[in-house]
Amino acid sequence: MSRRFKTNYLKKQRQRYWKRFLLFFIFICGLGCLAYLVIFSNVFQINDIKISGLKRIPEDVVRKEIESTFNTFKILPVNKNLIFFNDQQIKNIFLADINDIYITKNFFTKTLNVHIVEKQPIAKLIFNDEVDSIFTEANYSNLYLDETGRIFKSDLLNQEKLIKIMINQSVNNAPKNLLDQTKIDNFQKLINRLNQQPNYQNNFYFEYSLNTPSAIMAYINDNFKVYLTLNDQIIDAFETADKFYLEDTQKKNLISSYIDMRYYPEKLYYK
């Protein structure tokens, strides 16, 4: 190998080395600029929070809870970053009155959009307060039944506008799900049916036993009580009981306690 050839070879090697070093340096600088742009600059910082869907929950309470998630300790300043913000932090708050939370991000206006779906209460739950009841040992006030059959606690509801369900029988704890979706759907049909009758509207309440979860007792207008099974025949069964009670005065005198429609349409009992 001649000295000239060797010199040219080493020169080309040095050129390749510096070229690779320069490309690597540019890549690192670009990566650093991108990291600064995304993480440390205010390009993707949340400037506004828009909250929608609220009816009974005060907006300032929701906003305060959301903003508290920005103060969670992290090594990098990504709490208020639209790209890295953890939606689950918001979805885990307000488990009492909130059914679901949907979050979208607007990168043009740097806005976090939070849509709240509140739980829809069907009834106010009143637990047995007898001396020998397990419910006297715990705080079971302000408990409600939502549209999915779940029990939830709230201090934000107008109790006067809700129907009442008296809960009987002692258990160790109140269940999270009082009724499954099928039973709650049938129960709502009965409520709607009663509210359609002017003489029954706002003049009824219910009694429910945790030991017989398929049936419910309806107290109608202080006139009569009727046991009903929470199935798809609940409206037919109620209308049969209603007609049976209103048919003549003699039967009103005979019915001293309740009408039992749990075995409808095969049987009808009264006491």
Output the CA–CA distances (angstroms, integers) from residue 32 to 19, 37, 40, 103, in the order listed. Answer: 20, 8, 11, 30
Q: What number does CATH give the domain 121-270?
A: 3.40.50
Averaged over successive runs of 10 residues, the pLDDT of the chain (271 residues) comes to 57 72 77 71 81 88 83 68 76 77 87 90 81 50 88 81 80 73 93 89 88 89 88 93 80 80 87 82
* Domain residue ranges in the chain: 48-118, 121-270
Contact assessment for residue 259 and residue 270, using Cβ atoms and an 8 Å cutoff = yes
Place of tokens 């849509």: 115
Q: Give pLDDT, residue 172.
A: 55
- What's the confidence (pLDDT) of residue 183? 93
Cα–Cα distance measured from residue 116 to residue 160, given in angstroms and rounded to the nearest whole number: 24
- CATH for 48-118 is 3.10.20.310
Does pTM top 0.85 for this prediction? no
Report the distance separating Cα 173 and Cα 96, nearest Å: 17
Domains 48-118 and 121-270 share a fold: no
The owner of tokens 């025949």 is 233
